Structure formats: C-alpha cells, structure tokens
Amino acid sequence: MELAICSLASGSSGNSYVIRSEKTALLVDAGISNKQICSGLEKLGLRAEDLSGVFVTHEHSDHIKGLPVLLKRCGAKLYTTQLTADQLPVDPGRVRAVEPGEVLDAGDIEVSCFSLSHDAADPVGYSFRSGGSVITVVTDTGTVTDDIRTFIGRSDILVLESNHDVNMLRVGRYPWFLKQRILSDRGHLSNEAAAVALAEVLKAESEAGALKRRIVLLAHLSRENNFPEMALATMENILQDYGFTAGKETRIDVLKRDVMSALYTCGQ
C-alpha cells in the first residue's frame, strides 16, 4: 500500500496519528488513552504489538497521555529528543534519542526530524518518506521557519496546525497570560498563520513551475477558540487571495478533535 496516515484524535484535548506503509506501522504521539489508541489501531487492522515505533513530538499531556500504558502493551521503540525523553514517565531504556536534522529508518519508512517553536523542552516535527511519498506532521509551533517550509514543500500529505482564530482568542474567556502564550512565537499557529504559510509554499512552487498536488489536513483545533468551518474558510480565502483554489491544487480537510479520521493515502 502507499504511505498513509490516520488521525486517531487531533485537538487541544489529545493528539495521536498512525503512519503506515506496506510493511510498517508507526504512531506519532499518544495524547489519548491507551484504550482509545488500541481501538483506533484495531479499526485499521492493527494491534499495539504491530507498531514498529512511537514518535513523540514533545512532553505536553495532550501528546503523551496514553504513552506509559501503551509502551507496556507493545515492544516498540520510543523515538524523541533526549531533552523531551528526560521529561517523560517512561523507562529510559525504551528511548532511541533523535535530534533535529537527523534522518533515520523505521522499517521501510525514512523519518526526518525537525525543530518546532513551542514552549516545551525540545519540540520537534516529523516527516515520513516511503516509496517516493512523503507525509509530514507540523503541529504545536508558534511560527513557521524556513526549515518547516521546506518540509511542507516536500509533502504529499501535510498535517498542519490551525489552532485558533485570533479574534476569538482575544475576546474569549482564557486568562490573559494564556492568550499571550498561545499568540507568542512559542505558542500555536492561528488559522491565518497556517494559511499564509501554505500559500507561500504554493506560490514558490508555482513560480518555479513545480506546483504539486497534495492533501492538507488542518489539525490541533482549539475547542474554545476555533471551529472547523472557520479554519477551513480562512484557509480557502487566503489561498484564493494568493491565486489558488482549494480543491484544485490542494485538497483541504479538517481533522476532528475526538473522532478518528479516514485513512488518507498518498496519491489519492
């Protein structure tokens, strides 16, 4: 099968994604209960024991909630940075430390690690390549760097944070310090920031005569400061401002917070 991804959950209350190829199944983050993870894997025809690796982006609870129990269920190696591993309630012997800029093999999937900008010990994103197809997960970052744009450009399927609407956040009930955290360069991407980042990548591709088709999955939506229709509309409107039509060059879907997604396959 082509390289594929399924979101088991994506939002401020929990995040977990399954990446699979013909021979390998990987998990990115375990921010929901082990029971939910195993239920999602079962629906994909997998068991926890089938996982070849668990990749953790950072130590916040919405990304590691089910991790300790999951690791007791399976023999998979845990991949994360050493600074993040130092924050996790897991056996250090289970950790295979990775560094931003590193490329490693997990089964028949090549995994690249890159830095994000978030208020955690050492937050990273991951890009997965197999059979010429690439899936990249970019969430929990307050800004989009040139390095992140490079990985966005390589992707056939992109999971991209679209956390909040700035106006909803500013007038909402969150305390001021939390609003400032979310809006900072070490917070979360707004709908507009995510859309502009993607649009700039598409613009560069178009100017180079190399515009590619891809699937973009808007992720990590805030329960309090966003809703799917707004995230999607913002993305579509900004792409249109840059001269692109969503659904033509780029398919845009929104991942739900508490509902398992469809299996998205490269080349669909």
What tens digit of pLDDT does each residue of 8-36 get? Answer: 999 989 999 999 999 999 999 999 999 99
Instruction: Give the DSSP letter of residue 244.
Output: -
Contact 238, 192 (CB under 8 A): yes
User: Among 217, 191, 187, 212, which residue's Cα sits nearest to residue 201?
Assistant: 212
Helix, strand, or coil here: 130? strand
| pLDDT of 247 | 87
Residue whose entry in the numeric block shows the structure tokens 């969503």: 246
Q: Residues 190, 9, 248, 233: is their CA dihedral positive or negative? A: negative
* Mean pLDDT, residues 248-258 taken together: 93
pLDDT at residue number 172: 95
Q: What is the pLDDT of residues 43-92, one digit of tens each?
A: 999 999 999 999 999 999 999 999 999 999 999 999 999 999 999 999 99
Helices (H), 105-161: 146-154
Per-residue pLDDT at 1 exceeds 80: no
**Against a cut of 0.85, is the pTM above it?**
yes
- Cα separation, 121 vs 69, in Å, equals 22
Length of the chain: 268
CB atoms within 10 A of CB 192: 17
Q: Give residue 66's pLDDT.
A: 97
Share of the chain above pLDDT 70, in %: 100
CA separation for the pair 154, 254 (Å, rounded): 20
* Residues with Cβ within 8 Å of residue 123, at least 6 apart in sequence: 57, 58, 84, 115, 116, 117, 140, 141
Q: What pLDDT is stored for residue 248 in this prediction? A: 87
Q: How far is CA 121 from CA 45, 84, 243, 262, in A?
A: 34, 6, 39, 32
267/126: higher pLDDT: 126
How much helix, strand and coil, in percent to the nearest 5, is found in the chain? 30, 30, 40
Instruction: Let me know: does 255 contact 218? Beta carbons within 8 Å.
Output: yes
pLDDT in the model for residue 12: 87
pLDDT attached to residue 91: 93
Instruction: For residue 209, count other CB atoms closer than 10 A to its CB.
Output: 6
The CA distance from 135 to 109, in Å, is: 10
Q: What is the predicted pLDDT for the residue at 169?
A: 97
| CATH numbers and ranges of domains, the chain | 4-265 (3.60.15.10)
Pick from 2-6, 25-29, 36-40, 256-260: least confident: 256-260
User: What phi and psi values does residue 212 have, to the nearest 5 degrees?
Assistant: -110, 155
**Whole-number CA gyration radius for the chain:** 17
Q: What are phi and psi of 42, to 5 degrees?
A: -60, -40
pLDDT of 268 > 80? The answer is no
Cα–Cα nearest to 109, from 21, 223, 8, 210: 21
Given this model, what pLDDT does residue 119 score? 97
Q: What is the mean pLDDT of the chain?
A: 96
pLDDT at 94 over 90: yes
Give dist(CA 30, CA 53) in Å, integer: 12
Helix/strand/coil for 56: coil
Q: What is the mean pLDDT of residues 159-168?
A: 98
